[in-house]
């Protein structure tokens, strides 16, 4: 049995949809930002907190858990700057309780959702796993702290782990049964699509004076289903005992500016956006683009979806989501 913490959230729910095809799955989620409708019905659902040792003790003594996959975190750069306590409590302190309880119950295999935000402002154009990590916001720091704790736990308690550093997750499940739904929404692609559906008056571009070709921030967008497939491979190498510890970037290797993303959304939807130039958002680096060569070399994983396909799937989801989320 695999325990997926945060399996009701955006990325976790997409992973669960793939994982249930070959594994028994228990999902722990407090539904603070995730959704009950997003959890695949083949998974066993436990409503509870990863920072609550009693909830965790219950799960580890009830089910035979072979590995834990941890998606439950707050993940908004801007929010982390104004409310760092929330990030250190939920992302660091609660995860520490989880790791402590895992060690207590002799559960030794762990997949951790980390982030490109651990790199801060990189001095290279393409980020590899060896690029120095100097996060510039509390969100990135909270994730890096857990990465460091994992290395110490591996050394001292034989914890085995794979850290996956996501770049910008986007897109939706192929059937449009599930997709991205945050409240409030802050991510670029859903905001553009909501605007193009008439749910917002305009799109604000946060900063047009960055040191990039068109002055707007460049990000590496990766389909959520590609992320899910990388997790399955990471889980398999841990279960097979082929790796004890590893850290991998997960990205497309291609950078797109905010303006290019807006243009692609216009092309995919056939609609014209009303775009307003706004101030920079605190904590945003100008450019974050991944090299995912390491995971390709070691596990054979490569992103399959282009930006266009990502947006097509997200558009299908946004049109369908009114029905699903009712
Ligand atoms: N962004 C923007 N307008 C918005 C939302 C986001 O210009 O309404 C920009 C944001 O400043 C960043 C990029 O789009 O440069 C991607 O932001 P998002 O919040 O989607 O992901 P992040 O990179 O923060 O994880």
Percent of the chain residues topping a pLDDT of 70: 99
- In ligand 1, which atom is closest to the CA atom of 203? 8
- 246: β partners: 162
Cα(186) to centroid(ligand 1), Å: 7
* Fold match, 2-170+221-250 / 188-219+253-324: no
Catalytic residues: 139
Give the number of other Cβ atoms within 10 Å of residue 47's Cβ: 12
Cα(154) to centroid(ligand 1), Å: 34
Give residue-wise pLDDT tens across range 199-252: 999 999 999 999 999 999 999 999 999 999 999 999 999 999 999 999 999 999
What does the domain layout of the chain look like in residue ranges? 2-170+221-250, 188-219+253-324
Q: How confident is the model at residue 182 (pLDDT cuts 50, 70, 90)?
A: confident
What per-residue confidence (pLDDT) applies to 246? 98
Torsion of CA 25, 27, 33, 34, to 10 degrees: 40
Is residue 205 lining ligand 1, measured as CB closer than 6 Å? yes
Domain 188-219+253-324 CATH class label: alpha beta
What's this model's pTM, rounded to 2 decimal places? 0.96
Is residue 187 lining ligand 1, measured as CB closer than 6 Å? yes
Of 145, 154, 61, the residue nearest 96 (C-alpha): 145
Cα(70) to centroid(ligand 1), Å: 24
What per-residue confidence (pLDDT) applies to 326? 56
CA distance 109 to 95: 14
Cα(219) to centroid(ligand 1), Å: 8
Contacts of 84 (CB under 8 A, 6+ apart): 138
Report the nearest-CA residue for atom 24 of ligand 1: 77
* Fold designation for 2-170+221-250: Rossmann fold (3.40.50)
Give residue-wise pLDDT tens across range 101-139: 999 999 999 999 999 999 999 999 999 999 999 999 999
What per-residue confidence (pLDDT) applies to 321? 84
For the stretch 50-54, contacts whose Cβ atoms lie closer than 8 Å and that sit 24 or more positions apart, written own/partner, are: 50/5, 50/6, 50/94, 50/95, 50/97, 50/98, 51/89, 51/90, 51/93, 51/94, 51/97, 51/98, 52/97, 53/97, 53/100, 53/101
152 CA to centre of own chain: 23
Give residue-wise pLDDT tens across range 11-30: 999 999 999 999 999 999 99
Is residue 105 lining ligand 1, measured as CB closer than 6 Å? no
Is residue 279 lining ligand 1, measured as CB closer than 6 Å? no
CA distance 241 to 235: 10
Q: Which of 135, 184, 258, 273 to mutate to test the pocket of ligand 1 (most atoms within 8 A of CB)?
A: 258
């Amino acid at each position: 049995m695999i325990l997926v913490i945060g399996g009701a959230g955006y990325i976790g729910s997409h992973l669960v949809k793939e994982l249930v095809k070959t594994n028994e799955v228990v999902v722990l989620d407090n539904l603070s930002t995730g959704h009950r409708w997003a959890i695949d019905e083949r998974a066993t659902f436990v409503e509870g907190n990863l920072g609550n040792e009693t909830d965790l003790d219950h799960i580890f003594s009830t089910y035979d858990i072979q590995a834990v996959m941890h998606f439950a975190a707050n993940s908004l750069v801007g929010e982390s700057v104004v409310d760092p306590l929330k990030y250190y409590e939920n992302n660091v302190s609660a995860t520490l309780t989880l790791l402590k309880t895992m060690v207590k119950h002799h559960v030794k295999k762990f997949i951790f959702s980390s982030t490109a935000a651990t790199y801060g402002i990189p001095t290279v154009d393409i980020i590899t796993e060896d690029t120095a990590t100097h996060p510039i916001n509390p969100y990135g720091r909270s994730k890096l702290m857990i990465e460091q704790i994992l290395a110490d736990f591996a050394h001292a308690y034989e914890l085995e782990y794979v850290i996956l550093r996501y770049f910008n997750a986007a897109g939706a499940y192929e059937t449009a049964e599930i997709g991205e739904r945050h409240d409030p929404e802050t991510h670029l692609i859903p905001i553009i699509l909501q605007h193009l559906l008439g749910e917002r008056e305009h799109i604000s571009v946060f900063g047009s004076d960055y040191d990039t070709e068109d002055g707007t921030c460049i990000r590496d967008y990766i389909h959520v289903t590609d992320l899910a497939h990388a997790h399955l491979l990471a889980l398999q190498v841990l279960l097979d005992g082929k790796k004890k510890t590893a850290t991998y970037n997960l990205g497309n290797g291609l950078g797109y500016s905010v303006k290019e993303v807006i243009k692609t959304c216009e092309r995919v939807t056939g609609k014209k956006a009303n775009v307003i130039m706004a101030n920079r958002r605190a904590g945003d680096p100008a450019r974050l683009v991944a090299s995912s060569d390491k995971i390709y070399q070691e596990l054979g994983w490569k992103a399959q979806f282009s930006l266009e396909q990502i947006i097509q799937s997200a558009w299908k989801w946004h049109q369908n989501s009114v029905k699903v989320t009712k």
